[in-house]
Chains A and B, each alone.
Chain A
Amino acid sequence: MEPPITYYTKAEYIETDTGNKVSRKSVICGSQNIVLGGKTIIQTECIVRGDLRRTGGGHAVVIAIGRYCLLSQRCILRPPYKTYKGVFNYYPMKIGDHVVIGEDSVVEAAQIGSHVHIGKDCVIGRFVIIKDCCKILDGTVIPPNTVIPSFSVYGGNPGRLVDELPESTQELYEARTKQFYYEKFIAEHA
């Protein structure tokens, strides 16, 4: 029912002023292009590729992540790319609030709404749009360019609609991510 408490060593994590906790053992590329909304946790061995940005132009946000998000161990966030009119380019990735991305998942989505739960070992293809309040089951493969509407549960390979989420999803996921941040992710007293 309740997730077990995760203990971390205080030395491993950098805590920012806004309460983000980023593991020193994660790979964050192009951090000047990454925005974390606050109280977001990036766990060990995550890879966040902020360096893959649009060619030309000045400073641009490549990966924007909202509040109370959780990037679990070994997940990979990579902005989507395509060749449009003969020009290869990366495009920005936006992630809303209260989003959980499971262990070992690879995400190349263009947009992930708020209150989204992505399971373990998932592959979210390029330019996928996941709207608010969705759940992706463990081990799902979402092919590129898929749109996932609100209150959907997707599973399988290729990912298909398998269920709908109840109306209380918003509060449920909000409570869950907040609970994880405050009560379940605790610094170990070394």
Chain B
Amino acid sequence: MTYRDEAGFVVEDVLIPPPYVYYQCHCHQQARIPSNTQTTPTGHDDETTEPPRTADILSLFPISRTYYCDHCHQLRCPLCISEEIACYYCPNCLFEVPTASVKAEKNRCGRNCFECPECQNTLTVVSLVDPAATGTAETAAGGTAPATGNTHYLSCGACRWDSLEIGLQFERPTGLATQLQPVEEGRADVREFENLRLHFEKLLKVKDNANNQFGLLRGRGAGGAGLNLPSSLLASIPGLASLASFGNRSAASSTTSRDARPENYVPLTEPPLSDDTERVQLVREGAKNVTTLRQRMNQPNDNPMQKSALYPQRIQLRTKRSKRCRKCEHILVKPEQKAQSTRFKIKLMASHFIPTISIVNSPLSDLKWDTPTRIIMKFSNPLERRIAISLATTQSASTSSRQAGDSFQAESNCEVTVVAPNFTVDPAKEIWEYDEEGTEQPEKDSRGAASAVGIHERDKNITSILVHVTPRRTRGVASSRSSNQEVIRFPLLVTVKQADEVPVESQVTSANPEESSGTGHNKFEPLSFWVMVGLGRLARSNG
């Protein structure tokens, strides 16, 4: 599977299809060099030290996944933000579930939404109208006689599984979860969990009292969390429930050794002994009745081996989350409370603050070993001011950095020459402003062409530059890789500053700078970050 989790990073770098431009977040540097982060408040001096290594690919993100903290003036990636749940909702019926009832409903939809135990697809309620058929089915299932004569069952639109296979049907087509509630509450694992919870609550109360008596201000939060978490986790495994309670209790009693020894936990159900006869039976019958790993894990309470033991699960709730900068606790993303709304009250994405870099021509086919290739990189400026960008490669940056430079040279598999390492990008404007100055466009182009070699094109808020890349074979370092293809990529240090020279068109507004830059981020802090540019794959052996 290409995708890993909601953070959005991809497991193996070979699976990211080049060409790409991935940004490196500062948090990565801080983790590596914890000492000198405090010395420079803006932190932009530190980043020149280390370009991303090939192994760091998991800490690199596309610009769409990165945030920008306008308090710290730094990039924030999914790894260095903290998330808070803003609301819970069911992904199928899209109803918002109040936080209070989420726990009671065990993080699953308490309405009408069920998941197919066979293929995890959503199930639909189907009505059975034939009175004769319902009569026989009813007696087989041992249910109560329906009032109307209609019965309803769940059916899967993908794999054709239906709940009649396991003798499950409903009297009413609505509120299925409440109709199933008595069955669910009667389940051994649910009863055991409830029993465990009661037991630990009692234990906590005793401990709390003891703490209060001895004036120990050991928060209930810490102790409670320590006890609650394992119990809730382990209770889903009936066999381990008693073990877990034992381990926890000993840990708890060691901290409050003056307590009287609390009573032993008595499990309601005995853990089922591993029954070899069942397994032998399964082997004899063949694989067709055996559940897959995914099916088994999807039913965590008993992890059934046989398909006949599978039953539909209520659909798990999803969340909307707000995101904070981990360093300064400022909110980066705050969604609207409504479950169905796709708008955000606060949204500080990196693409609104730093230039978006993309590769214009796809150089996949042009790449050859030891042959220089010209690529065009496009920088688009999201800000309302002209910015100056300076680029540095590992070759040029390593002279200023520490001795690490050599190893990076060894690791990068191409030689990079940025023809125009310093250039400016014009500010972003509203579209109608571009339309107005349509007549003076040719003049602008000529100026762009004259100002520097290596600049391919200037257009609106975009500057395209030329970069020459020569793929070089690495000296046996990366040969341990299984695939015989190599991703041609290179790191690039991007430094963004406000352009010094006053642009011609903004001279008028420069008389009152407060007005022109009154967008909330007046001071434009210089920012520098590494990007990893992946161009394409080259077979290792040929040529």
Q: A and B bound?
A: yes
List chain A positions with a Cβ less than 8 A from chain B. Answer: 1-2, 4, 125, 131-133, 141, 143-153, 155, 158, 160-172
Residues of A within 8 A of B6 (CB): 163-164
Residue B122 lies at the interface, judged by CB distance under 8 Å to chain A? yes
Q: Of A144, A147, A166, A171, which is within 8 A of B94 by CB?
A: A147
Q: Of A146, A148, A149, A162, which is within 8 A of B1 by CB?
A: A162
Q: How far is the CB of B354 from the nearest CB of chain A, in Å?
A: 12
Q: In the bound complex, what is the Cα–Cα distance between A153 and B9 (angstroms)?
A: 13
Asked whether B333 lies within 8 Å of A167 as measured between CB atoms, the reply is: yes
Asked whether A1 lies within 8 Å of B358 as measured between CB atoms, the reply is: yes
Given contacts A1-B358, A2-B359, contact A147 B91 (CB under 8 A): yes
Please, how many residues of chain B have a CB less than 8 angstroms from a CB on the other chain? 40
Q: How far is the CB of B95 from the nearest CB of chain A, in Å?
A: 11
Closest to A150 in B: B342
Asked whether B91 lies within 8 Å of A149 as measured between CB atoms, the reply is: yes
Closest to B346 in A: A167
Asked whether A168 lies within 8 Å of B64 as measured between CB atoms, the reply is: yes
Asked whether B91 lies within 8 Å of A166 as measured between CB atoms, the reply is: no
Residue B120 lies at the interface, judged by CB distance under 8 Å to chain A? yes
Asked whether B157 lies within 8 Å of A149 as measured between CB atoms, the reply is: no
Asked whether A2 lies within 8 Å of B157 as measured between CB atoms, the reply is: no
Closest to A158 in B: B158
Asked whether B5 lies within 8 Å of A163 as measured between CB atoms, the reply is: yes
Residue B146 lies at the interface, judged by CB distance under 8 Å to chain A? no
Q: Of A4, A151, A158, which is within 8 A of B121 by CB?
A: A158
Q: Name 27 A/B residue pairs within 8 A (Cβ), A-sorted.
A: A1-B21, A2-B358, A2-B359, A2-B378, A131-B94, A131-B342, A141-B158, A143-B121, A143-B122, A143-B157, A144-B124, A145-B124, A146-B157, A147-B93, A148-B91, A149-B94, A150-B342, A155-B1, A158-B121, A162-B1, A163-B6, A163-B8, A165-B8, A166-B64, A167-B333, A167-B335, A168-B64
Q: Of B3, B122, B340, which is within 8 A of A131 by CB?
A: B340
Closest to B349 in A: A168
Asked whether A125 lies within 8 Å of B157 as measured between CB atoms, the reply is: yes
Residue B65 lies at the interface, judged by CB distance under 8 Å to chain A? yes
Asked whether A149 lies within 8 Å of B89 as measured between CB atoms, the reply is: yes
Q: In the bound complex, what is the Cα–Cα distance between A15 and B208 (angstroms)?
A: 76
Q: In the bound complex, what is the Cα–Cα distance between A89 and B335 (angstroms)?
A: 39
Per-residue CB contact flags for chain B residues 1-31 toward chain A (1 = under 8 Å, else 0) read 1111110100000000001110000000000
Q: In the bound complex, what is the Cα–Cα distance between A163 and B342 (angstroms)?
A: 17
Asked whether A147 lies within 8 Å of B122 as measured between CB atoms, the reply is: yes
Q: In the bound complex, what is the Cα–Cα distance between A170 and B343 (angstroms)?
A: 9
Per-residue CB contact flags for chain B residues 85-112 toward chain A (1 = under 8 Å, else 0) read 0000101111000000000000000000
Asked whether B121 lies within 8 Å of A150 as measured between CB atoms, the reply is: no
Q: In the bound complex, what is the Cα–Cα distance between A160 and B21 (angstroms)?
A: 28
Q: In the bound complex, what is the Cα–Cα distance between A144 and B122 (angstroms)?
A: 9
Q: How far is the CB of B510 from the nearest CB of chain A, in Å?
A: 29
Q: How far is the CB of B424 from the nearest CB of chain A, in Å?
A: 22
Residues of A within 8 A of B347 (CB): 167-168
Given contacts A133-B342, A145-B122, A151-B342, contact A162 B362 (CB under 8 A): no
Query: Which residue of B2, B156, B360 has the most chain A CB atoms within 10 A of its CB atom?
Result: B2
Q: In the bound complex, what is the Cα–Cα distance between A143 and B351 (angstroms)?
A: 35
Given contacts A2-B358, A163-B6, A172-B64, contact A149 B349 (CB under 8 A): no
Q: How far is the CB of A98 from the nearest CB of chain B, in Å?
A: 12
Q: In the bound complex, what is the Cα–Cα distance between A147 and B121 (angstroms)?
A: 10
Asked whether A171 lies within 8 Å of B342 as measured between CB atoms, the reply is: no
Q: How far is the CB of A47 from the nearest CB of chain B, in Å?
A: 23
Residue B159 lies at the interface, judged by CB distance under 8 Å to chain A? yes
Q: How far is the CB of A131 from the nearest CB of chain B, in Å?
A: 7
Known: A145-B122, A166-B349, A167-B349. 19 other contacts (CB 8 A): A1-B21, A1-B362, A131-B342, A143-B121, A143-B156, A143-B157, A145-B124, A149-B94, A160-B121, A161-B91, A162-B1, A163-B5, A163-B6, A163-B8, A164-B6, A164-B8, A166-B64, A171-B349, A172-B64
Q: How far is the CB of B297 from the nearest CB of chain A, in Å?
A: 13
Q: In the bound complex, what is the Cα–Cα distance between A123 and B136 (angstroms)?
A: 37
Asked whether B3 lies within 8 Å of A155 as measured between CB atoms, the reply is: yes
Closest to A126 in B: B157
Asked whether A168 lies within 8 Å of B351 as measured between CB atoms, the reply is: yes
